[in-house]
Amino acid sequence: MDSYLDVDTWHTSHPLDDQRFYKALSKIVRDPKFSPEAMGEYIRDKKGVSRDDNGDVFNNVIDRRITEAYAIQEFVRLGL
């Protein structure tokens, strides 16, 4: 996940940022211990984003990435 987070534009919806996120996620999503919520907390901790600040644009991006990770995890689990 660090390869995604270490780029200044990690929080944008730019296709290259999306690509970096999906590539990083592909390395961990198949691990049976993978948790999208734990991934989100890792991102929050690394970027100093409080879960309580609902108006924070970074928090909203992290929530979106958690949702995407859940969807991809389920897709992989089903073998699709």
Digit-coded pLDDT (tens) for 24-67: 999 999 999 999 999 999 999 999 999 887 778 899 999 999 99
State the distance between the two ends of the chain, measured CA to CA, in whole angstroms.
23
pLDDT beyond 80 at 80 = no
Q: What band does 2 get if pLDDT is binned at 50, 70 and 90?
A: very high
Q: Which domain holds residue 51?
A: 2-77
pTM greater than 0.75: yes
The CA distance from 35 to 72, in Å, is: 12
The CA distance from 33 to 38, in Å, is: 10
Which residue blocks in the chain are alpha helix, DSSP H? 2-5, 15-26, 36-47, 57-77
Digit-coded pLDDT (tens) for 8-18: 999 998 999 99
* Total domain count, the chain: 1
